[in-house]
Structure 1
């Protein structure tokens, strides 16, 4: 059975965006500031239990547009849907993002997997004219910032 174009029901895709009131938005000024805001959003009782991955969405004045939990993993890792990170960035009209995940082990050393996902995010950000400002690794006690450590 073949359908001609005239028989198909086509749906228009529309984008609706209303910029939030900027006076109400928090401004990100440093990695410490990012972590403090993130800790207000996340359930800190769960970060020693399993890995989570979050994205902070920012405008070009580094004002926070929103925070989203992208994924929940296991004690040993989390699978990140990069597509979802950028869907959120585009839908909120963000110009930059900060990503973060936790290490239940308490270790602040970036794994090879952490480094690979950061490189993928940096590459994809450039294609979409977005800036990846930082990748944070947090534990109950402390945090590590890729940006502060010169993206090593």
Structure 2
């Protein structure tokens, strides 16, 4: 009985191709403050579900703070949402982002970040820093308003 060459098996893998085409520069929204990012989210988020379940979003930005894309990462329950750092990193790397803004809604109506919000923000910030991507802000929003970690000195 002849043994297979394990080295050959390990090295023969599928071809992986990464493709991303950014929008035309002049058509990209320029994000200069939290209000700009929140305006994008208000256009993107479903207003009928803001008071129902938590939703977690990522806004990917270029070096010139131009919006590369928006992604809904996760939908949770009324009191929480699970967020995977791996998915955030994948999106940021594929879009060649140099900065991101994260955001989630509080169906309860409170704009005050929770302790778990702060811990999650720090974990995401540390993970992004390993690949030279800046966490620019974390927005907590309700149907009535929003709060910004950066504007309030939490970030």
Normalized against structure 1, the TM-score is what?
Answer: 0.94
Alignment of 1:1-152 (within 5 A): 3-4=4-5, 5-7=7-9, 9-151=12-154
Offset at residue 30 of structure 1 (A): 0.8
The alignment's C-alpha RMSD in Å is: 1.6
The 4+ residue runs of structure 1 with deviation greater than 6 A are none
Cα 1:98–1:7 change in 2 (3 A) is: closer
Structure 2, unpaired ranges of 5+ = none
Secondary structure, aligned partner of 2:103 = strand
**In 1, Cα distance between the equivalents of 2:143 and 2:136?**
22
Cα 1:11–1:109 change in 2 (3 A) is: same
Offset at residue 2 of structure 1 (A): 5.8
**In 1, Cα distance between the equivalents of 2:3 and 2:116?**
46
Secondary structure, aligned partner of 1:144 = strand
**In 2, Cα distance between the equivalents of 1:130 and 1:151?**
18
Structure 1, unpaired ranges of 5+ = none
**In 1, Cα distance between the equivalents of 2:84 and 2:76?**
12
What CA deviation, in whole Å up to 9, does each residue of 1:40-73 have, x standing for no partner? 0110110100101000000000000000000000
Secondary structure, aligned partner of 1:71 = strand
Normalized against structure 2, the TM-score is what?
Answer: 0.92
